[in-house]
Amino acid sequence: MTAIVSKPLFDGTRLVVPEGSFLKGTVLQVRAARRMARNGELRPVFHRLTLPDGIQQKVEASLAGVQAGKAQSLKLDAEGGAQATTPKSRYLDTAIAVTLAAASQGDDPINSGEGGAGGFRLVGFALGIAVHSQPLGMAMGAFGASRSIYTHFFAPGRNVVLPKYRAMDITIGTRSPAAAPSAVADPPSADSSQR
C-alpha cells in the first residue's frame, strides 16, 4: 500500500513530515467476508517514509481513521485493522418482510398486495392488488421474507474495500492507549500526532 501525505505534519513550529511525502506499507492480514454474514477484515501497516527530496526512513505507522460513507461502514481496532460493519437495520428489514409475508395469507386483495410489497416493493404491491390472487401474493411474500433472511443472516458479509484516493488518518509511532480509533465521515485534519 502507498499513502501520500496530503497535509504537512508539524511538531509545534517545526516541520516533521512535508506534504507530498510517501508512506509505503503492506497488508499484514486479510480476511475475506464469510458466510453467516461475517464481514471481512483488513490490517495495513506502513513501514517506510519517503520525503519529497528522496530521503527514506523506517517508520512504524498504522491506520487510525478512514473516510467512509454510510454504504461502507468501517470499524477500526486498536492496532489499525479495519473491519466492515453490518447495519443494525437488518433486524427491522427482516421483521418487516416476515410480517408482510404473514399478512399476505388473508382473503382481502390488500393482503395480496402486502405479500407483493414484501417480495418486490412497490411493483409487487401494485401487481398483487391488480391480480387479486391470494397464491400469488403469498408466493411473493414468501420470496421476499426468505430473500431478506438469507441476505441478512446467511449470505457472506461485506468485504473491506479501500479505493484509491481515500482520505485516511495514519498514526506514526506508538499509539497512546487513550486515543480511540474511529472511522470518519469527513476528510481528516492533520495534527502533530497523526498523518
Write down the pTM of the prediction.
0.56
Chain centre to alpha carbon of residue 95: 23
Whether 90 has a pLDDT exceeding 90, the answer reads no
Dihedral of CA atoms 144, 147, 153, 158 in degrees, nearest 10, equals -120
Give the DSSP H or E segment for 3: strand 2-4
Residue 48 binned pLDDT confidence (cut-offs 50, 70, 90): very high
Give the DSSP H or E segment for 169: strand 168-172
pLDDT in tens, 154-193: 888 888 877 777 788 888 874 444 444 444 444 444 443 4
Predicted confidence at residue 139, as pLDDT, reads 82
Predicted confidence at residue 72, as pLDDT, reads 65
Query: What would the mean pLDDT of 136-151 be, rounded to a whole number?
Result: 83
Give the whole-angstrom CA distance, residue 187 versus residue 195: 12
How much is the mean pLDDT over the chain?
A: 77
Give the whole-angstrom CA distance, residue 90 versus residue 96: 10
Q: Cα dist. 22→80, 121, 181, 184 in Å?
A: 18, 48, 22, 22
Predicted confidence at residue 192, as pLDDT, reads 38
Encoded amino acid at 111, one letter: N
Whether 69 has a pLDDT exceeding 50, the answer reads yes
